[in-house]
Structure 1
Amino acid sequence: MRRRSTAPASPLPQRFGVDPVHLRLPVAGGPWETVRAYLVERLPAVAAERVDGLLRDGGVVGEDGRPVGAAEPFRPGAHLWFYRELPPEVPVPFELEVLHRDEHLVVVDKPHFLATTPRGRHVVETALSRLRHALELPALSPAHRLDRLTAGLAMFVVRPQDRGAYQALFRDRLVRKEYRAVAAYDPAVVLPATVRSHIVKERGRIAAHELDEAPNSESRIELLERRDGLGRYLLRPTTGRTHQLRLHMSGLGLPILGDPVYPVVLPEPAPDDFRRPLQLLSSAMEFTDPLSGRPRRFESRRTLAAWTDRESW
C-alpha cells in the first residue's frame, strides 16, 4: 500500500487564526529554473508584482524558515510557505460564545452571519479563525458544518488525533440534533410530519433542489406554539444535507423567516446588512462521546428574534 506523505510543520505561525499558504514544488521537476518562475506560473491569480514583492520582502520561506529569494533555484519537492493577501472583510458585530471547552472539544454558540470555517470572501471573520486566535488553539478544526446564516451550536475538535472520531459521529448520524425555527403558521399543514426527499446541491448554484428519486434526506417537523400568524417549530433532522431544513420547510409552504434563498433566491444584501437574520437555530446536540463513552448534551442559549422581539421584525 502506498503511504501518503505528510507535509512538514509550517515554520510560519497562523495570522488571525488563518494558516499560511503551503506549496510543494513538483517532485518530477519542470521547466522552471527559479522559484520565482514557478510561483508566477503556479499562481496566475496573483500578480507577478505581488510575487516579486513577497520574495523581495522575505515573505516566502522554506522548511527551515529561511526566506527564499527571487533567484533561488527551483528544487523539485521543496516546500514553501507564505501568507496570502486577505481581502477586507466586514466585521460580524456579534459575539461568539464558548459554551464548553475541555482537552478534546470546544462547543460554541455561533451568531447568525458568522461563517463556521474560512471559505470564499469569509476568512478571518469566521468562527474557526476567531477561536484559533482567541483560545490560542492553532490546530483547532471543525467537527461538522453549520451554515453561515444559521445560529447556534457548533463543535470543534482540539487535537488532530481526535478529529476523525468526532467527525465520524456526524458522518454516521450518531448525533441527535434539534433546531428551532420561526415561520408562518398555516392550519392546513398537518404537523407533526416527517419529510423525506432526494436533495441535490450543485457546485456554483446557491439553492439546493429536490429530485424525484429515492430519498436521501429526512426531517421531523413539529409545531411547538403559534401566535399572531407565526409558528415556532422544532426540527429534528435525521440526515445532514446542505440546506435540508430550509428546503423541507419551504416545501411544506412554511419558508423560514429571513431566508434569502427558499422559496425564491433574493438579491444578495449588502455585506454590512445584518437586519434580518435567518430564523433558524441549532438548539441542541446529544451524543455518546467516542473517547470517554459518556453521554453529552449541549444546548444553545440563543433565541430567535422574530419570536422574542416581534417589534424588530
Structure 2
Amino acid sequence: MVFYILIDYTDYMQIKSSKKISLLELLQELAPESSKNRLRSWVEMGRVLVDGKAPKHVNQIVEEGQEVTVGAKPKYVQEDLKILYEDEDLVVIDKPKGLLSVATDLEKEKTVHAFLKHRFHNRMVYPIHRLDQETSGLLVFAYTKEAREHLKEQLEKRTMQREYRALVHGHPGSGTWRCFLEEDARMRVHVTKRGREAVTHFETIKKRENYSLLKLKLESGRKHQIRVQAVHFGYPIVGDPKYGIPEDAGKKFQLRAVALSFSHPKTGKWMQFSISQG
C-alpha cells in the first residue's frame, strides 16, 4: 500500500459556525458540489480543522461560534510512504529519503511517526528504532504498549535483525567495525574512548574500481553508527552529506535499510521483510 502524507494545499478559508451542526453537514453547505466521500477524505487527510484541531470524525458536532478551517495549510510534506505490512499490533514501512523517523527539537510534524499518528486521528504509535533522515528503508512501529515492549526487548537482546546496503569508497573487504561513539553539542557523532560501544558486521558483495557495495548488519544501534564507522575506518559512504568527503557533494546518499526480521509480538511468527537496494 502507498499512502500520501498530504497534498500541498495553498488556499484555505476560515469560518465561524452560525449554528449547532454536524461537521459533514457544514462541509456540504460550504461545498455542495462535492460528494460525501470527498468531504470525508478532506477530514481524513487533515484538510479540515475545528478550532485548530483535527476532528475525531466527520460527524463530529460543531457548536455555534466554533471556527472551522477548510483547506488547511498542510503540516506534512508530500511523500510516498509505502506500508509493507500492517495489523492491529504493528506496521512496517519503507521510509523515503529526506523524511525524519521521529520528531526533533527543530521539526515536530514532517516525520513518519507524526504521519502514522495523524492517519489514525492521533492514535498511539510507538517508535521501535530509527533511520537517519538521509537514510531510506525499513522501519517498524508498534500500535500497542505490549507490542512495543516485546519489539524493544528483541532490539535490546539483538534478536531483531537489521540489514543495510551501502556503497563506499575503497575496498574494505569483510569484517567487523567496533568502536565507541559519542554525540557532541552540534549533534555530530564522533569516535571516542568513553562513548557507547558500536558494532557493525560487513561483507563486500560487489567491487568496482574505486568503490565497494557492502552488506552490513547491526549488532548495536547507535545514532549515525554505520556512517561514522565507515568514514572512521577509511571507507566513507558515497554521497553522505554530513560525514562524507567534499568530492561527493551533490551525489545521491548510498545507504539503505533493506532487510528487517523479528518475532511477531503476539503470534510469535518470525516476520521477514526485504526491499530492493534502490
Looking at structure 2, the residues matched to 177 and 118 of structure 1 have their Cα atoms a distance apart, in angstroms, of 22
Q: Structure 2: any 5+ residue segments left out of the alignment?
A: 1-5, 7-49, 54-72
2:199 aligned partner: 218
Corresponding position: 1:195 with 2:177: yes
Tell me the equivalent position of 1:132. 117
- 1:137 positional shift: 6.1
Take 2:124 and 2:76, find their aligned partners in 1: how far apart are those partners? 25
Instruction: Tell me which protein shows more strand as a share of its residues.
Output: 2
1:295 aligns with 2:270: yes
Q: Equivalences for 1:17-56 in 2 at 5 Å?
A: none
- 1:229-251 Cα offsets, whole Å, 9 max, x none, are 32211111100111111111112
Structure 1: state its 5+ residue gaps.
Answer: 1-15, 17-56, 61-86, 270-274, 304-313
1:238 is aligned to 219
**Partner secondary structure for residue 227 of structure 2:** helix
1:171 matched residue in structure 2: 156
* 2:240 is aligned with 1:283: no
Percent of paired sites with the same residue: 27
Q: 1:1-45: per-residue Cα shift (whole Å, max 9, x none)?
A: xxxxxxxxxxxxxxx9xxxxxxxxxxxxxxxxxxxxxxxxxxxxx
Q: Residue 284 of structure 1: CA displacement? A: 0.7
Post-superposition Cα deviations, 1:56-105, rounded to whole Å, max 9, x if no partner, equal: x9779xxxxxxxxxxxxxxxxxxxxxxxxxx99783x5411000001111
Count the aligned residue pairs: 215
**Aligned-partner SS, 1:132:** helix
Q: Deviation at 1:215?
A: 7.0
Check the 8 A contact 1:89/1:122 in 2, yes or no. no
Residue 84 of structure 1 is matched in structure 2 by none
> How big is each residue's C-alpha offset from its partner over 1:114-173, in whole Å with a ceiling of 9 and x where there is no partner?
001122332222111222333556212211122111100011111234322222221232
Distance 1:143 1:224 in 2: 29
Q: What's the TM-score once normalised by structure 2's chain length?
A: 0.67
1:1-313 equivalence runs, <5 A: 91=77, 93-136=78-121, 138-186=123-171, 189=172, 191-202=173-184, 204-212=185-193, 216-263=197-244, 276-303=251-278
Residues 122 and 300 of structure 1, relative CA distance in 2, 3 Å threshold: farther
**Equivalent in the alignment of 2:30:** none
Q: CA deviation at 1:277?
A: 4.2
